[in-house]
A = this chain, B = another copy of it.
Amino acid sequence: MNRVPLERKVLSENDRIAGELRDRFRVHGVLCLNLISSPGSGKTTLLERTLEGFDQNDRVAVLTGDIQTDNDAARLQRYGFPVKQITTGGTCHLDARMIERALADWPLENLDLLLIENVGNLVCPASYDLGEAAKIVLLSVTEGEDKPLKYPSIFFKSALLVVTKIDLLPYVPFDLAAAEANARHVHPKIDIVKVSCTAGAGMPDWRDWLDKRRAQTPAEHVTPRG
């Protein structure tokens, strides 16, 4: 049961590749965001509403991870932006190597924003750096306000908490103030937006957060080496 040393080796190899990806994103001025949540918290739906709001000239692309099926890529491809499915075939998280492979035929100089939808899992994806500028955790109001305390790692590592499905608040025993307090207990500086992708509430707050991060991500405009 001597699992720890190999786990460390796998993570350190992952960190090396993630570091290379981060350098490439910085050089090309690509803002990369890594969306993480439980299965069914609404990652794909948030991405659908987000892509819908972009101009067709926006230089946006999506990588979407699942254990099986390419359902999510099929849903997201309708908005006219490049979308690629990563099917992990059993692995419970995306890793940096999968991102590197998926990007092999996508010229980063054509991109400003890369949205990564991780495998639905509130635990394991928190351990794998994908070279992103920020992790974003989603929590739906049907899941319970105690989740930041039970799964602290992902809330600690995320720059933003998106509370989803707030249209269901009248029908579920979810204490929104307690959920926010629990998230801030784990991570005092976490940003929080609250949205309903079906009713549209809060979507401008999410878009503002995204636009601010995009404005902070200028390309370094390096001259290619001869």
Contacts and interface: CB of A to CB of B under 8 A. Distances in A.
Nearest to A75: B146
A202 B6 CA distance: 46
A14 B6 CA distance: 18
Contact of A69 (B123, B140, B149): B149
Interface of A is mostly: loop
Contacts of A173: 198
B69 A150 contact: yes
A144 B41 CA distance: 9
A97 B1 contact: yes
Contact of A149 (B6, B68, B149, B153): B68
Contacts of A153: 67, 90
A131 B177 CA distance: 40
A1 B91 CA distance: 13
Interface residues of A, number: 40
A168 B152 CA distance: 28
Contacts of A172: 168
A123 B38 CA distance: 10
Given A10-B1, A67-B123, A121-B122, A147 B92 contact: no
A124 B122 contact: no
A56 interface: no
A143 interface: yes
23 contacts: A1-B13, A6-B6, A38-B39, A38-B40, A39-B147, A39-B150, A67-B123, A67-B151, A67-B153, A68-B150, A68-B152, A69-B149, A71-B150, A92-B123, A119-B123, A120-B151, A121-B121, A121-B123, A124-B124, A142-B142, A167-B171, A168-B172, A171-B171
